[in-house]
Amino acid sequence: MARNAVNSEGRVAVHDLVKRFGSVAAVDGVSLDVAAGEFVALLGPSGSGKTTILMAIAGFEYPTSGRVEIGGEDVTWAPANKRNLGMVFQRYTLFPHMSVAENIAFPLKMRGIGRVERERRALAALETVRLAGYGERRTNQLSGGQQQRIALARAIVYQPRVLLMDEPLSALDKNLREEMQLEIKHLQQQLGITVVFVTHDQTEAMTMADRVAVLDLGRLQQVGAPRDLYEAPATPFVAGFIGETNFLPGRAVAAAAAGETLAVDLDGGGRVAAVAVDRLAAGAALRLAVRPERVRLAPSAGGLGGTVVEAIYAGVATTLIAELGGERRVRARIAAGTGERNWSDGEAVDVSWRPEDARAFAAGAAG
């Protein structure tokens, strides 16, 4: 299949998108710019507005306010069939009364392309999704993964500039899902097509996407490369939603600007160092976020002390739960093979971390 030229044709942007259903704001002022040829995943819990945003881009839902642009053109109010997008849905939406080849050729037929050319391109698309020879089958003679590959072939056969996918893999079992993730990713790179991919599975989003847009309650929390999201979450929500995080409430000892290191008095006792994410006034309430694998444990020596209450062995890593005073619990993860000593229940332990591994969010921050 011909490689699409990567130019601004495939750029997708939404500006200040708001969509209300009655009094509920499903999408509440989201702006997102997807570059041509980029793979962006929309990630968020159920009901966070992912599908609604995708539907606004596709033309199946019209925004209450805001704009949608494709290739620099304002398409906010254009009908869905005029947007020249490819779309793959969660359920396999193959037309049951058509053969596999007819399904794939359908968009070409709608574009007035002649039969011979249609067949040629349908066959090529079948090869692209590695299902050559399946053209004459009925759609109900295919497995779930095969059906979704056909749906994919149907969505790319007319070489659209943008491909939209709404949880296309969530109906597949785990192994197949992982295989398809890589396959779609490779196909996207090969075609140079822009992809907006909705998922509620963070691993899937991190595996596939160049950038991930995290949504909660209709608001964009953070957009960034998977590594940035994990290592520098912008909000407590992102910190908690992507990977695992220990949250500890406390107060700033002195004022600090965003990015500065500051001293924190933890509620319930103990003073630790951390990096401020938000601007913090002296004495301001804050939430400290530390990843379990960044927590260090040492035999008790009068630091931030606690007791090991549980050790959970899971092969690749061991998770220890340490109780500090005042009902506070901290999880620490020790990867296998790092030569760390074994801890057992009831042992006294000192908990610490490097200042740059602890992030302090203003307590009012979303999430």
Ligand X SMILES: Nc1ncnc2c1ncn2[C@@H]1O[C@H](COP(=O)(O)OP(=O)(O)OP(=O)(O)O)[C@@H](O)[C@H]1O
Chain residues binding ligand X by CB under 6 A are: 21, 24, 26, 44, 46-52, 200
Largest separation between any pair of C-alpha atoms in the chain: 80
Length of the chain counted residue by residue: 367
**Partner whose binding site includes residue 47, from another protein, Mg ion, ligand X, none (CB under 5 to 8 Å by kind):** ligand X
* Nearest to ligand X of 200, 294 (CB atom): 200
8 A C-beta contact, residue 352 and residue 300: no
Instruction: Single out the segment in contact with Mg ion by CB under 5 A; choices: 47-55, 62-70, 81-89, 337-345.
Output: 47-55
* Nearest to Mg ion of 26, 304 (CB atom): 26
Core vs surface per residue 245-272: b (16+ CB within 10 A) or e: bbebebbbeeebeeeeebebebeeebeb
Of 44, 74, 39, 75, the C-alpha closest to 163 is 39
Instruction: Write down the least CB distance from residue 200 to ligand X, Å.
Output: 5
Q: Does 9 bind another protein (CB under 8 A)?
A: no
Q: Does 146 bind another protein (CB under 8 A)?
A: yes
Sign of CA dihedral 47, 49, 50, 54: positive
- What number of chain residues touch another protein (CB under 8 A)? 47
Q: Does 4 bind another protein (CB under 8 A)?
A: no
Give the helix, strand, coil percentages of the chain, each rounded to 5. 25, 35, 40
Radius of gyration of the chain from its Cα atoms, rounded to whole angstroms: 25
**Partner whose binding site includes residue 60, from another protein, Mg ion, ligand X, none (CB under 5 to 8 Å by kind):** another protein
Q: Does 86 bind another protein (CB under 8 A)?
A: yes
Q: Hey, which bits of 76-234 come out as E strands?
A: 85-88, 162-166, 194-199, 211-216, 219-224
Q: Does 73 bind another protein (CB under 8 A)?
A: yes
Instruction: Write down the least CB distance from residue 85 to ligand X, Å.
Output: 18
Q: Does 51 bind Mg ion (CB under 5 A)?
A: yes
> How far is residue 173's CA from residue 202's CA, in Å, rounded to a whole number?
16
Give the bridge partners for 275, in sequence order. 261, 359
One-character DSSP codes across 287-338: EEEE-GGG-EEEE-SSSEEEEEEEEEE-SSEEEEEEE-STT-EEEEEEETTS
Instruction: Write down the least CB distance from residue 55 to ligand X, Å.
Output: 7
* Nearest to Mg ion of 26, 266 (CB atom): 26
**Partner whose binding site includes residue 191, from Mg ion, another protein, ligand X, none (CB under 5 to 8 Å by kind):** none
Q: Does 306 bind another protein (CB under 8 A)?
A: no
Sign of CA dihedral 332, 334, 340, 343: positive
Instruction: Write down the least CB distance from residue 26 to ligand X, Å.
Output: 3
Per-residue mark of binding to Mg ion, 7-46 (x: CB under 5 A): ----------------------------------------
Instruction: Write down the least CB distance from residue 21 to ligand X, Å.
Output: 3
Q: Does 58 bind another protein (CB under 8 A)?
A: yes
**Partner whose binding site includes residue 48, from ligand X, Mg ion, another protein, none (CB under 5 to 8 Å by kind):** ligand X
Q: Extract the tokens encoding 2.
A: 């011909």
Q: Does 174 bind another protein (CB under 8 A)?
A: no
Q: Does 48 bind Mg ion (CB under 5 A)?
A: no
CA 277 from centroid of its chain's CA atoms: 21
The interaxial angle of helices 100-110 and 144-156, nearest 10 deg, is: 20
Q: Does 97 bind another protein (CB under 8 A)?
A: yes
> How far is residue 13's CA from residue 18's CA, in Å, rounded to a whole number?
14
Instruction: Write down the least CB distance from residue 46 to ligand X, Å.
Output: 3
Interacting residues toward Mg ion by CB under 5 A: 51
Interacting residues toward another protein by CB under 8 A: 55, 58-62, 73-82, 84-87, 89, 91-97, 106-107, 109-111, 134, 139-144, 146-147, 151, 154-155, 158, 164
